[in-house]
Amino acid sequence: MKNVSFFIACLLLIAFSVIYLSCKKEYSYEGGPVSGNGNGAGTGSGGQVPQVASFTLEGSPNTCTDFKINGTYTSGVPLAADNTVEVMVDVLSIGSYYINTGTADGINFSHTGNFTKTGIQKVVLQGSGTPGDPANLTFAVNSVSSVCSFNLTVVTFGPPATYVLESNQDGTCTGYSVSGNFVAGTRLLNTNNIAVKTTVTVLGNYTIRTNTVNGMTFSYTGTFVTLGSQVVILTGSGTPAASGTYQFIPQIIGPHPIGGETCTADITVM
């Protein structure tokens, strides 16, 4: 009889221990810290969400104040650790922050961090991606409450040529000509071109590209192998959205040490 009583007592003790441990585990889950809040932001002790900083981008809403571009940007070459952009911010209250740019030509810049002091200070945005076409780009730096912008040039690989775009006193491209039919809603072919005149003083690689207007862009990348005055044919791409006459600005992509970096040319879309 004593053995039976002892056995029953052992069973009751084991059952009580299991129930106690289960309740303790459940209580720990319900009342303990949570590792995340469902949107990628972690929480601190006691389940509190970290404080988000309040700040503005210096220069907003125009050009970023005292921005600095680091590294080289070459078509087809992936960005590395030294491809950064420095921007200035005015921190009103400390906390976490995220600053980023949109993506242009396959590259973008961003940084996540934590402000530990207020006032004007520098943030270094890290670049990522691989530049596509040589181009003069404009990036918009975005925060929760403000935006500013900076310009960046992606160049073609190799030694650059030195040359100018020939232009008249009114800024129009000297003797430019337009080829092909331009019809609203019809995609451009490789026969849709703008021919512009250049004067080359140093041989090398070059890119000439227009702005995008009415859904169309004209560009060409090549190598000058002769000096002096010569014609470059810019090939069109895109689809014109509407009929009318539109002004395009061919421009040198990259260094233009002797000026003459732009001129203008008109195209009529039927």
Pick from 111, 96, 93: which is nearest to 56 by CA? 93
Q: Are 58 and 143 in contact (CB under 8 A)?
A: no
How confident is the model over 193-215, as a mean pLDDT?
97
- Highest mean pLDDT of the ranges 10-24, 33-47, 203-217: 203-217
Evaluate if residue 172 carries a pLDDT over 70.
yes
| Integer angstrom CA distances of residue 69 from 81, 128, 141, 195 | 13, 14, 13, 33
Q: Is the peptide bond before 61 cis (omega within 30 degrees of 0)?
A: yes
Q: Which residue segments constitute the domains of the chain, with CATH numbers given?
A: 54-154 (2.60.40.350), 162-269 (2.60.40)
pLDDT average, residue stretch 18-24: 42
Residue 41: the pLDDT is: 36
Rounded to two decimals, the pTM is 0.75
